[in-house]
Structure 1
Amino acid sequence: MGGAARGGGVARGAERAVERRPEEVKSAARALEVLELLGTDGARLSLAEMASAMAVPKSSLHAILRTMEARRWVDVDPSGTRYSLGLKALLTGTAYLEGDDVTSLAGPVLDALAEETGEAVHLGRLDGTNVVYLAKRESRHALRMYSAVGRRLPAHATGLGKAVLSQYDPAEVQRRLDWPLERLTPNTVVDPDAFLAQLAEARLRGWAMDDGENSADIRCVAVALGGGQGGGHGGDALSCSAPVSRMDDARAEEVAQLVTEAAHSLSTLLKRLGQH
């Protein structure tokens, strides 16, 4: 799946290059596009691949990459042909998390939820058509899912994404997502009517489910911050994920209740700070 995501990231980079607004400073926009491309699932790309994705001359891009390498925003491999994110990108990303009130307050809530469920728990944020993991706690079991802070996943195929999207009316959902929806597994819901029906169900019961739609053997339940009441959610949600073998329907209901309580606790903390 990672390889497919990287390819999709390059393609989206090309779209960003085409959509660049005239008032943007060209060199600054290109430097940001480099970071966006390399920030896709740990991508390692060549000069030619990035130039093609961004629709820019290799000579111009090479000068930008040299500057970014000197300032440690990008690294180049020993062969000098493939680029990846540098240390400065990590430091900046860490500073973002440290300065984010939701992330900083979520720590004890995530700890408690992970202890109660024994499974992987996440805090995620809607970012365009994707969800980004802002924080996580590992499962106590040896058999566990792969996830990492900073990872981006299509919102329509994740519990986190559907929990947040369920707070919007159908017209807003249709505006926010890229149609047709990408099928990541045989279980991914891509039919517009079926997907909107899923969101309506999630809205009524207060939690959303990814039933093997992002990774075929993983189930995930998620709750938007704000308890699904349609306001003040800020695009954030909490989730709990586990292999299907440990998450049957009855267990999913139990876990959903625990995630709902955790999301309510975190939302209450945020309201006290005036953040949500």
Structure 2
Amino acid sequence: MTTAADTLREGAFQPVKSAGRTLDVLEALADGTGPRSLVELTRALGIPKSSLHGILRTMMKRGWVEADATGTRFGLGVRALQVGAAYLETDTVTGLLSGVLDQLASEFGETVHLGRLDGPHVVYLAKRESIHPLRLYSAIGRHLPAHATALGKVLLAERADEAVDRLLHWPLAALTGRTITDPDTLHAELATIRSRGYAVDREENTDGIVCFAMAVPLQSPATDAISLSIPASRLAATTEDRVVVALNATLAQVRAARPLLPTP
């Protein structure tokens, strides 16, 4: 029997223009740049100002969008927070991995992330803060280019190079002077990750921060990964080996807990 979800995946439908525009507005307001004016949104999205004004008013009435005190700049409303929180609360993997994230954070005292591949990006689903004043700034829900993070690279390495090339947006953006942007260099990096089983971001996302990540073995190819982010100034000669041992031990626990997940 063909379900509605099957039909959507097969592309056998015509997108609803108004719904698409509404989602475009939500995604634009969620990109982390802060409140946007009507003119800015019109330019960014290519939606006529009159149509955009009606969409914004409707979204404000439903609590998805809020205006500032001047009424000229718009940001996400509390309804978006409620839906985002509901996603995390009902996500089986996030709940399953909560304990191992706590364990890693306790052992190292450094920032720990759970990330999920989302197209050419990786999005933070959960985090545990470092105990140190000097730490990586991050926020749950934040999107980063997959090619510039340990989380993203280890998940890209789960896929063939051809699939990676189709997934990413070329040319690749450089977040720091160390970000890998050359296709051949990236392919070689992914081959190394596949061979050794973990990824390292050596200040490719943020200057001064080194990250180590392994994919979560709950499905193949993996869609989730766990990372530890450590300021380069706190790295010792044995840090990488210690982190790899800890991540391997953590993921062994995850494999043991796999039967707890519902069958897709």
Tell me, in whole angstroms, the C-alpha distance in 2 between the residues paired with 1:150 and 1:257: 28
Q: Does 1:183 align with 2:174?
A: yes
State how 1:81-230 maps to structure 2 within 5 Å. 81-226=72-217
What's the CA shift string for 1:114-134, capped at 9, x where partnerless? Answer: 011111000000001100000
Equivalent position of 2:232 in the other structure: 244
What's the CA shift string for 1:217-236, capped at 9, x where partnerless? Answer: 10000000119xxx535410
The 8 Å contact of residues 158 and 222 in structure 2, kept in 1 or not, is answered as no
What's the CA shift string for 1:199-234, capped at 9, x where partnerless? Answer: 11111111001100000110000000119xxx5354
Q: Is 120-129 or 50-59 further displaced after alignment?
A: 50-59
Tell me, in whole angstroms, the C-alpha distance in 1 between the residues paired with 2:217 and 2:58: 43
Tell me, in whole angstroms, the C-alpha distance in 1 between the residues paired with 2:91 and 2:27: 20
Equivalent position of 2:246 in the other structure: 258
Tell me, in whole angstroms, the C-alpha distance in 2 between the residues paired with 1:191 and 1:40: 25
Deviation of the 1:191 alpha carbon: 1.1
Go from structure 1 to structure 2 and tell me whether the alpha carbon gap of 1:245 and 1:50 turns closer, same or farther (over 3 Å shift). same
AA partner of residue 243 (structure 2)? V
Q: Is 244-253 or 209-218 further displaced after alignment?
A: 244-253
Does the residue aligned with 1:241 lie in a helix, a strand or coil? strand
Does the residue aligned with 1:132 lie in a helix, a strand or coil? strand
Does the residue aligned with 2:112 lie in a helix, a strand or coil? strand
- TM-score w.r.t. structure 2 length? 0.91
Tell me, in whole angstroms, the C-alpha distance in 1 between the residues paired with 2:140 and 2:209: 18
AA partner of residue 249 (structure 2)? E
Does the residue aligned with 1:179 lie in a helix, a strand or coil? coil
Deviation of the 1:57 alpha carbon: 0.8
Does the residue aligned with 2:97 lie in a helix, a strand or coil? helix
Deviation of the 1:186 alpha carbon: 0.5
Tell me, in whole angstroms, the C-alpha distance in 2 between the residues paired with 1:170 and 1:184: 22
Report runs of 4+ in structure 1 exceeding 4 Å deviation: none
The 8 Å contact of residues 207 and 260 in structure 1, kept in 2 or not, is answered as no
Tell me, in whole angstroms, the C-alpha distance in 2 between the residues paired with 1:26 and 1:111: 44
AA partner of residue 142 (structure 1)? P
Equivalent position of 1:9 in the other structure: none
Tell me, in whole angstroms, the C-alpha distance in 1 between the residues paired with 2:260 and 2:221: 14
Matched-pair identity in %: 49
Of 14, 20, 42, the residue aligned with 1:51 is: 42
AA partner of residue 31 (structure 1)? T
AA partner of residue 172 (structure 2)? L
Deviation of the 1:29 alpha carbon: 1.0
Q: RMSD between aligned alpha carbons?
A: 1.7
Equivalent position of 1:40 in the other structure: 31
Report how many residues are paired: 253
Go from structure 1 to structure 2 and tell me whether the alpha carbon gap of 1:191 and 1:248 turns closer, same or farther (over 3 Å shift). farther
* Unaligned runs of at least 5 residues, structure 2: 1-11
* Unaligned runs of at least 5 residues, structure 1: 1-20
Tell me, in whole angstroms, the C-alpha distance in 2 between the residues paired with 1:173 and 1:267: 26
Go from structure 1 to structure 2 and tell me whether the alpha carbon gap of 1:92 and 1:103 turns closer, same or farther (over 3 Å shift). same
Deviation of the 1:259 alpha carbon: 1.8
The 8 Å contact of residues 125 and 141 in structure 2, kept in 1 or not, is answered as yes
Go from structure 1 to structure 2 and tell me whether the alpha carbon gap of 1:24 and 1:161 turns closer, same or farther (over 3 Å shift). same
What's the CA shift string for 1:7-51, capped at 9, x where partnerless? Answer: xxxxxxxxxxxxxx9821111111111111011115311111111
Deviation of the 1:274 alpha carbon: 4.2
Tell me, in whole angstroms, the C-alpha distance in 2 between the residues paired with 1:146 and 1:215: 9
Of 220, 229, 240, the residue aligned with 1:232 is: 220
